[in-house]
Amino acid sequence: MFRNAYAIARQFTLPVVISCKTMSGKCSSVVGSFVVINDEGWIATADHIVDHWKNISEARQQVRDIQSKRAEIERDSALSNTQKRKALGNFIINKDAPDEISIWWGGLGQGASTPVAIAQFIRLPTVDAAVGKLYPFDPAWISGYPTIKDPNKDYAPGVGLCKLGFPLQQITPTWNVAKSAFEFPPDALPMPLFPVEGILTRFCDVVVPDAPPPPFRLAWIETSTPGLRGQSGGPIFDEQGTIWGMQVRTHSYPLGFKTGTSEQYLNVGLGVHAATLVGFLSDVGIKFKLSPY
């Protein structure tokens, strides 16, 4: 059903991996997905991925500030050892605080002298969406760019859709001291894509109280199957590979009965509506292709 669409969507759907080493030396990662929107290197992903990166970046900077303050105290020849110990006690670093972090954008530009990065994100947290521009970027890295469904033409529930991303991936990186870089396990790459089919079931308009609305619709689409962890930021597309939304969340509805002592739930997916994607991209001046249907 989605065989041809999968071949189209895999060209512009890539994984993002955020790696972290704590002060205790423990390494871990968070895996998500992103879509390359155009040949200028603009991408779209889930805002909660960007928010995680922002939070650990700020926490890492706090660690660096504390380390700098501790070094300053250690160098202060006017302080006795007792005074230094007392002063250092005011600047303790939690063992679980981030020491080293990195964000890996699908291996684009692998081996280049300048790592691919995004200097600044444009965020729309009300619907869990964000965009950013990869730099440096070579259009040849992507073999095909997406088309977004025209939300004003036959955009209605009942259509079969497919979610694509990189779920079921558990990557535990290691920190290479000599290279000052994270390394993935040998079997981590290439990361396999995983499609999940479902039906477009309903729409959900997002209202932010006491805040002026943007000049476009804020909405989610609901799909009959849940998005899996690692698919956040990935596309939701039809049989032609056209994007109808971007997967961002999973919602659980209680079904009102139990199996044994366990409550039963229906898990559905929530994705950013095409009307929101089109409005957001247009509002910030990012070019994209719109479907003729």
Domain residue ranges of the chain, discontinuous segments joined by +: 3-290
| DSSP reduced 3-state for 281 | helix
| 146 token code pair | 């997406």
| 157 token code pair | 């529930």
| DSSP reduced 3-state for 27 | strand
pLDDT band at 259 (very low <50, low <70, confident <90, very high): confident
pLDDT of 244 reads 98
Q: What is the pTM of this model?
A: 0.94
pLDDT in tens, 61-102: 999 999 999 999 999 999 999 999 999 999 999 999 999 999
pLDDT band at 57 (very low <50, low <70, confident <90, very high): very high
Report the DSSP beta bridge partners of residue 270. Answer: 222, 249
Whether residue 1 contacts residue 160, with contact meaning beta carbons closer than 8 Å, is answered with yes
What backbone torsions phi and psi does residue 8 show, to the nearest 5 degrees? Answer: -75, -50
Q: Residue 264 pLDDT > 90, yes or no?
A: yes
String of b and e for 197-215 (b: at least 16 CB within 10 Å)? ebebeeeeebeeeeeeeee
pLDDT of 5 reads 98
pLDDT in tens, 185-243: 999 999 999 999 999 999 999 988 888 889 999 999 999 999 999 999 999 999 999 99
Whether residue 127 contacts residue 272, with contact meaning beta carbons closer than 8 Å, is answered with yes
Q: Residue 112 pLDDT > 80, yes or no?
A: no
Beta strands in the chain (DSSP E): 13-22, 27-36, 42-46, 98-105, 117-124, 129-135, 147-148, 160-165, 174-176, 181-183, 194-205, 219-223, 235-237, 243-259, 262-273, 289-290
Alpha-carbon distance of 254 to 9, in angstroms, equals 33
Task: Report which residue type is found at 54.
Answer: K
Report, at the CATH architecture level, how domain 3-290 is classified. Answer: Beta Barrel (2.40)
Write the CA distances from 53 to 2, 47, 244, integer angstroms. Answer: 33, 10, 26
Place of tokens 């991303």: 165
Whether residue 271 contacts residue 200, with contact meaning beta carbons closer than 8 Å, is answered with no
pLDDT of 281 reads 98
